[in-house]
Amino acid sequence: MSRIRFTRRLPAAVAVAGLALAVSACGGESSTSSAGTAPAAADQLKPNADLSQQTLQITVWDGYTPEELPAKVKEKLKVKDMKVALHDTNEIAMTKLTAPGDSGIDVAFVSGQYAQALNEQGLLEPIHPELIPNLANLYPEATQLSYDKGNKYSVPYTWGTTGICYRSDLVKTPPTSWNDLLKPPAWADKKVTMMTTERWLALPALKALGYSVNTDKDEEIAKAKELLLAQKPHLLGYDDVTFGDKLVSGESMMAEAWDGWCPTTDAKGNIKFAVPKEGSDLWVDTMVIMKSSKNKEAAHALINYILSPEIHSWAAENINYKVPNKAAMEQVKIAKGSLLGIKPAELLNGESIVDLGEASVKYTRLSTEVTAQS
């Protein structure tokens, strides 16, 4: 008897308990998701803090910092430990950093508009310039970037532009316009890759149509979407990570690419990079310190160390990204075919991508809709 009664009640009890938990959880949560809090007052940081009590956890793109960086940092800064986590795209990094709970990250590498979005959410620690004397090494232009004028919450690590990376030996005519990518000629059919990271997916179409990369007008975004959908059947695929490998192997002949990831220094020397005549962007990859970090002094020390010419020049020499560090760039020997020669003033011709607040959701949806269309 008792057994039967018990089991009859059990599913009901389980269901009620589950619902109660879910409802209470929902109620408790509703306040945290409202965005756009102003940056709170900075913590008091101690310039002479004992770094040997602090550990560092950073998140960065694969291969974007020297492999021996943790060892060097431990030796030079005397921090207890330093660990590196990897993310493959800005979006994955955002997922990590905005997840509830402690992300466990002290310093994150993200692009400028994402740093801006993180700051709007109140997740970033303001930069304490007094703890980063090496900020003086930056080009003056690098302190006037539109997503964060005066480097209040982010420090630029690399900068560059977006263009068309192509195989000069395979294309019949070198690309000069975004339309060469958007409406590939017959000889390039299914030999083209595009990036899907939301804002860079839209960039070629927006620029080809003569719009701003920061437009929030629905009709302009809709027109860009039309172009991208018409392009889709002629693509090899979407690729934000290995488009360079596909060019080297000959699987593709043209790719939308960030300049630094275009393998122009490949041994065979037939990979070239072109900025289309309609213009492009100025992107900046930045370093930010998370407000939740318990190792803020060490985080500042790390950024300061990275800004020293010998470390910062590594990025330029090894991954072919221009760094916004005058002292570092002056040390760099510029290899043949390298794109490092582009001057800061030329770079600033590009339109800087800024976060669009609520309107940035439109680009997220654009990216979903273009990839979902079959």
217 is an interface residue for other proteins by CB under 8 A = no
Q: Tell me the pairing of strands 281-289 and 351-352.
A: parallel
- Interacting positions 113-132 with other proteins (CB under 8 A): 117, 121
Smallest gap, in angstroms, from Cβ of residue 117 to other proteins? 7
Smallest gap, in angstroms, from Cβ of residue 141 to other proteins? 30
40 is an interface residue for other proteins by CB under 8 A = no
Q: Which is nearer to other proteins, 42 or 92 (CB)?
A: 92
Smallest gap, in angstroms, from Cβ of residue 324 to other proteins? 26
Q: How many residues bind other proteins (CB under 8 A)?
A: 77
Which residue from 83, 152, 217, 343 is in contact with other proteins, where contact means CB under 8 A? 83
Which of these segments, 152-160, 201-209, 232-240, 300-308, binds other proteins (CB under 8 A)? 232-240
Distances (CA, A) of 15 to 19, 275, 315: 6, 60, 56
- Interacting positions 41-70 with other proteins (CB under 8 A): 57, 59, 62
Residues 6+ apart with CB under 8 A from 300: 45, 127, 128, 131, 132, 289
DSSP secondary structure code for residue 138 in this structure? B
Which of these segments, 2-10, 172-180, 274-282, 299-307, binds other proteins (CB under 8 A)? 2-10
Amino acid of residue 300:
H
| Upper half-sphere CA count for residue 358 (Cβ side, 13 Å) | 4
334 is an interface residue for other proteins by CB under 8 A = no
- Interacting positions 96-115 with other proteins (CB under 8 A): 96, 98-105
Calpha distance 41→81 (Å, rounded): 28
Note whether 154 and 300 are within 8 A (CB).
no
Smallest gap, in angstroms, from Cβ of residue 38 to other proteins? 16
Distances (CA, A) of 326 to 166, 244, 302, 331, 344: 29, 28, 19, 9, 10
369 is an interface residue for other proteins by CB under 8 A = yes
Calpha distance 174→271 (Å, rounded): 11
Smallest gap, in angstroms, from Cβ of residue 264 to other proteins? 18
Which residue from 76, 78, 217, 232 is in contact with other proteins, where contact means CB under 8 A? 232
First to last CA, the chain: 59
- Interacting positions 234-263 with other proteins (CB under 8 A): 235-239, 241-242, 245, 249-251
For residues 168 to 207, the per-residue mask of contacts with other proteins, x marking binding by CB under 8 A and - elsewhere, is ----------------------x-----x-x---------
Calpha distance 269→149 (Å, rounded): 38
Which residue from 21, 42, 71, 136 is in contact with other proteins, where contact means CB under 8 A? 21
210 is an interface residue for other proteins by CB under 8 A = no
DSSP 139-208: -GGGG--TTSTT-SS-EEEEEE-EEEEEETTT-SS---SHHHHHS--GGGTT-EEE--SHHHHHHHHHHH
216 is an interface residue for other proteins by CB under 8 A = no
